[in-house]
């Protein structure tokens, strides 16, 4: 079969705030081939990714992403990898390429699974999908009291683990951060798994990050996530050498090489990969295998829709020892309602991927229509992109 269409749908909340919440908008990708349709999601600023899909050619290594996708033969998983290599080659100098490609690549896996009547995790070679332990992923409250109440609410919902991040953490004093961490611990109780996300706030400042380590140890945090930006490998390694709390990072990696560098040099205990950024499911699967071989735990990064959540769990579905997974619980309606099906914790508090074709997620088109952004890109009077019609239910 041949790829006949690649459509991008930009949806967003009526008001987008400055809070560190990536669920306020989304870029849905629909790929059609051979009478089948697959869906994916890019984790990036939607309009920028749309522009990279259709932008006029700048030169041979800076071509629009769609030029390497439309019309391509597509029948196997090997074709997905071949198309991805072609995109990266022809759009080498277009820095948005990896994010844009990610959504397309995810949609291709979804489409292939539907055509084969197999879930993506089985197409990847896994004979089963292990249950994952979700950690409720939330932002710190503006005050320790707000954080305490959030943590209590999380335990009341039967979550065994929670991650608190961003918000005021790392932007004020050491004492203020200690109060936040201890409030989270108090609310979760002594047996809850506590994870802390600094959101790259210290860039590469090791001493400032190190000053927070005693409070994290006191509160028995299981990890400190993203103390620094992804490229600050030396800073990560220096902090890891003096920390009893393991470090987590990698969500900023937009290709396999970046992820491998972090695994090899940053002293990570956990590598967190976003399928919507790294190039899709195939590259995330490659990183998961590499991490497992190096003794580093693979974790998904997801803070948007259940479509993205399903895509992010596929690459390590069959890795029994890599159990913990990110599970956003404060998503905005545009992300929360984007799919008909939901991945929800079972009675044991675990997440289980569906044994349904593809990603096992159907799009809620009423939600798409409700939040759809009407956009158009024109150059010299020619329309390069306009919002496509939303499919009928």
- Per-residue pLDDT at 22 exceeds 90: no
| % the chain with pLDDT above 90 | 97
The answer as to whether 356 is a domain residue is no
At 25 the pLDDT is 95
Inside any domain, residue 149: yes
Tokens of 73: 């033969």
157 found inside a domain: yes
Same-domain check for residues 214 and 130: yes
Q: Identify the three-state secondary structure at position 104.
A: helix
pLDDT for 178: 98
- What pLDDT does residue 330 have? 87
pLDDT of residue 152: 97
- CA–CA separation, 140 and 288 (whole Å): 29
pLDDT at 392 over 90: no
C-alpha–C-alpha distance, residues 132 and 146, integer Å:
28
CATH of the domain at 370: 3.30.390.10
pLDDT of residue 356: 96
What is the model's pLDDT at position 21? 85
b vs e for 196-229, b when ≥16 Cβ sit within 10 Å of the residue's Cβ? bbbbbbbebbbeebeebbebbeebebbbbbbbbb
Point out the domain boundary residue: 336, 354, 371.
336
How far apart CA 359 and CA 310 sit, in angstroms, is 6
Same-domain check for residues 325 and 232: yes
Q: Are the beta carbons of 77 and 30 closer than 8 angstroms?
A: no
Q: Is the pLDDT of residue 393 over 80?
A: no
Q: Which three-class secondary structure state does DSSP give residue 80?
A: helix
Task: Compute the average pLDDT of residues 192-220.
Answer: 98
229 and 88 inside one domain? no
CA angle, 190 then 196 then 200, to 5°: 170
Domain count, the chain: 2
Both 201 and 140 in one domain: the answer is: yes
340-371 burial: b if 16+ Cβ within 10 Å, else e: ebebebeeeeebbbeebbbbbbebbbebbeeb
Whether 104 and 130 map to the same domain: the answer is no
pLDDT at 113 over 80: yes
* 183 and 69 share one domain: no
Indicate the average pLDDT of the chain. 96
CATH number, domain containing residue 143: 3.20.20.120
Task: Provide mean pLDDT across the span 329-338.
Answer: 93
Closest CA to 104 of 23, 32, 35, 34: 32
Looking at residue 19, what is its pLDDT? 86
Say what the pLDDT of residue 14 is: 95
35-81 tens-digit pLDDT: 999 999 999 899 999 999 999 999 999 999 999 999 999 999 999 99
Domain check: are 173 and 84 in the same one? no
350, 131 contact by CB (below 8 A): yes
Helix (H) and strand (E) counts in the chain: 15, 13
pLDDT digit string, tens, across residues 116-165: 999 999 999 999 999 999 999 999 999 999 999 999 999 999 999 999 99
pTM of this structure: 0.96
Shared-domain flag, residues 172 and 309: yes
**Same domain, yes or no, for 102 and 170?**
no
Domain that holds residue 220: 123-336
What are 275-310's pLDDT values in tens digits? Answer: 999 999 999 999 999 999 999 999 999 989 999 999
- Find the mean pLDDT for residues 176-193: 97
CA distance readout (Å), 118 to 41, 157, 359, 361: 20, 32, 9, 13
Residues 103 and 196 in one domain: no
């Amino acid at each position: 079969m041949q790829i006949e269409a690649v459509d991008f749908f930009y949806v967003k909340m009526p008001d987008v705030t400055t809070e560190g919440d990536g669920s306020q908008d989304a870029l849905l990708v629909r790929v059609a081939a051979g009478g089948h349709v697959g869906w994916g999601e890019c984790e990036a600023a939607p309009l920028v990714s749309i522009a990279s899909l259709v932008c006029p050619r700048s030169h041979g290594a800076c071509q629009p992403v769609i030029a390497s996708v439309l019309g391509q033969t597509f029948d196997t998983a090997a074709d997905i990898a071949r198309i991805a290599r072609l995109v990266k080659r022809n759009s080498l100098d277009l820095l948005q390429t990896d994010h844009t490609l990610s959504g397309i690549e995810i949609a291709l896996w979804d489409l292939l699974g539907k055509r084969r009547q197999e879930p993506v995790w089985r197409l990847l070679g896994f004979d089963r999908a292990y249950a994952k332990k979700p950690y409720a992923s939330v932002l710190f409250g503006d005050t320790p009291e707000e954080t305490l109440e959030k943590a209590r609410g999380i335990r009341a919902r039967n979550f065994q683990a929670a991650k608190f991040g961003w918000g005021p953490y790392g932007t004020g004093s050491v004492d203020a951060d200690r109060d936040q961490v201890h409030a989270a611990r108090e609310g979760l109780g002594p047996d809850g798994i506590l994870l802390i996300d600094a959101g790259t706030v210290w860039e590469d400042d090791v001493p400032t990050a190190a000053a927070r380590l005693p409070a994290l140890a006191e509160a028995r945090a299981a990890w400190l996530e993203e103390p620094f930006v992804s490229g600050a490998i030396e800073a990560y390694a220096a902090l890891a050498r003096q920390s009893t709390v393991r470090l987590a990072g990698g969500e900023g990696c937009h290709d396999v090489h970046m992820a491998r560098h972090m695994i090899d040099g940053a002293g990570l205990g956990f590598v967190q990969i976003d399928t919507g950024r790294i190039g899709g499911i195939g590259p995330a699967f490659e990183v998961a295998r590499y991490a497992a071989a190096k003794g580093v735990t693979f974790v998904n990064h997801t803070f948007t829709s259940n479509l993205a959540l399903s895509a992010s769990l596929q690459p390590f579905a069959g890795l029994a020892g890599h159990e913990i997974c990110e599970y956003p619980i404060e998503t905005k309606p545009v992300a929360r309602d984007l799919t008909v099906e939901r991945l929800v914790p079972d009675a044991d508090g675990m997440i289980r991927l569906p044994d349904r074709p593809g990603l096992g997620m159907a799009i809620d088109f009423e939600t798409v229509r409700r939040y759809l952004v009407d956009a158009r890109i024109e150059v010299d009077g020619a329309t390069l992109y306009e919002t496509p019609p939303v499919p009928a239910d």
